[in-house]
Amino acid sequence: MLRTENLSFSYKTKKGPLPVFQDLNVSFSPGFNVVLGPNGSGKSTLLKSIFGLLPYEGTVWYQKENVTAMGIDDKTKLMSYLPQMDTSFSVLTVLEMVLLGRLPELGRKVKDEDLHSVMEILASLNIERLAPRRFTELSGGQKKMVLVAQALVRNPKVILLDEPVNSLDLQKQLELCHLLRCLEEGTSIIAVLHDLNLAVQFAHHIVVLNGKGKLYGAGSPRETVTEKMLREVYGVVASVNYDKNGRPAISAIRSTRDVVA
């Protein structure tokens, strides 16, 4: 289990520190965790902090290991991170791009097991046919899937994904979220999503940030995604119904700022 202890981060501005979150205590379970919250609530900043890209205050723990105190080599063995921004240029093939995801394990010579792992993850994402193609030849959605494969191929214990379904068509969104839900037991996937219905359909655990630097709530989709939460956190009047499996389905009606005639 990964958790944060009194995590705080502020951007430095000419007018002084601009807090994003303060004393944030969040726990993520094994399985597919989704971070929800309005724009500017600190979702991406939280992932960057966990991976050590930002100079936060506080501590990140993985079970009993102090992630904050880890060196970069140990940290990259423990976790993978896929940011929002895609790499738009590379002379490498798709196979070579995904193989780079195994760098911490690669020796001087690529082994059969390395190639097998690459082809296995490409097949699980239904993009194995892209293996010989140049990365620059791909569409934006295909590039996104290749970068997801690169993050997953090493089987890290923690996978951080910032808006992984952006630029994907609906079929690929569903396939990717299904794969993330069904990854190897014990792996913690922490993903930022904006599509609430995707989140409640596939997530095991949801964390909601309120846009004021605080944790609003955490738990199962049914526990966290409620009409009250949507109104208080997103400023949206919505109806929440439940399917036969008890998962919420959200229908947005209007903004709370809309004037009702």
Show Cβ contacts of residue 141 under 8 Å, excluding neighbours closer than 6 positions: 167, 168, 169, 172
* CA–CA distances in Å: residue 18 to residues 36, 70, 100, 142, 212: 21, 27, 36, 36, 11
The verdict on residue 115 lying in a domain is yes
Say whether pLDDT at 47 is over 70: yes
| pLDDT confidence band for 197 (50 / 70 / 90) | very high
Q: What is the CATH number of the domain that holds 42?
A: 3.40.50.300
In percent, the amount of the chain with pLDDT more than 90 equals: 56
The verdict on residue 184 lying in a domain is yes
Which domain, by its residues, includes 175? 2-255
The verdict on residue 260 lying in a domain is no
pLDDT of residue 152: 87
| pLDDT confidence band for 90 (50 / 70 / 90) | confident
Tens of pLDDT, residue by residue over 103-147, are 765 555 677 788 888 898 899 888 999 999 998 888 888 888 888
The verdict on residue 261 lying in a domain is no
The verdict on residue 152 lying in a domain is yes
Report the number of distinct structural domains present in the chain.
Answer: 1
pLDDT of residue 105: 59
The values of phi and psi at residue 130, to 5°, are: -85, -10
